Amino acid sequence: MAKATQNPIILIELDHDTRQTQFDRAKTWFDNVLLTQSSCRQLVEDTVEKIEEPHMKQYLAEMALQEREHEAKARELFALIGREPSDVRQLLGQVAGKARQALGDFIALAGSAKGPWQDLHQVYLSNYNSMGAFAVAEQLGLALGIPAIVDLVFPVIAEKSTSQLLLKEYVLEMCSKSILYHEGF
C-alpha cells in the first residue's frame, strides 16, 4: 500500500469561486429547461382535448401525464446545484405553450391544413425543443462532474425521445388527412 498524500494538490477549476460561477450559469440554463418543459406540457394537455381519434387521444393523454412528471424533474435540477428555480420562467413557458397553439393555427391556415393536426405538429416541435434542453442539462451535469444531474434527466430524455418517434409518426401519417382532405381526426 502507498503512503498517504502529504503535499497540497493543485485543483483545476475546482476552487469555490469558479464552481459557484459555473453553477450560476448552469442555473440560467435550468430555467430554460423549465420554460421549454412548461410550454411543452401546456401544449400537450391542450392538444389532448382537441383530438377525437381514440388511440391517439389515449397516447397523448399518457404523454401529458409524463410531461407533468418531467416538469417536476426540471424543478428538481436546481437543488442539485444549490439554487432555486425562477417561477417567472415557468409561467412564461405556459404562456409560450398557448402562443405556440396560435402559431400552429397560423401555419395551418397558410399551409391549407385543417383540424388538430397543426396542434400535433406544434407538440412535435415543442417536445423536440424541450428534449434538447434536458439533453443540454445532462451535458452540463457531465461537465460539472455531478452524476445526480445525469441520473435525473437521462430517463426524461429517454421518454421524450420515445415520444418524439411517436409524434413524428402521427404528424407524418395524419398530414394527408389534414392537408389534402381538410378533415379533422
Q: Given the rule CB under 8 A, which residues bind other proteins?
A: 1-18, 139-140, 142-148, 150
Identify which of residues 123 and 140 has a Cβ nearer to other proteins in the complex.
140
* CB neighbour list of residue 52: distance below 8 Å, 6 or more residues apart: 184, 185
CA–CA separation, 44 and 50 (whole Å): 10
The single-letter DSSP state of residue 116 is T
CA–CA separation, 81 and 40 (whole Å): 24
Identify which of residues 48 and 137 has a Cβ nearer to other proteins in the complex.
137
Q: How far is the CB of 178 from other proteins (least distance, A)?
A: 20
Identify which of residues 91 and 148 has a Cβ nearer to other proteins in the complex.
148
CA–CA separation, 112 and 3 (whole Å): 76
Q: How far is the CB of 56 from other proteins (least distance, A)?
A: 20
CA–CA separation, 137 and 132 (whole Å): 9
Identify which of residues 72 and 143 has a Cβ nearer to other proteins in the complex.
143
Q: How far is the CB of 2 from other proteins (least distance, A)?
A: 4
The amino acid occupying position 95 is V
Output the nine-digit C-alpha cell for 158. 429517454
Q: How far is the CB of 102 from other proteins (least distance, A)?
A: 29
Q: Which residue has the cell 417561477?
A: 87
CA–CA separation, 159 and 58 (whole Å): 16
Identify which of residues 2 and 110 has a Cβ nearer to other proteins in the complex.
2
CA–CA separation, 136 and 153 (whole Å): 10
Q: How far is the CB of 39 from other proteins (least distance, A)?
A: 25
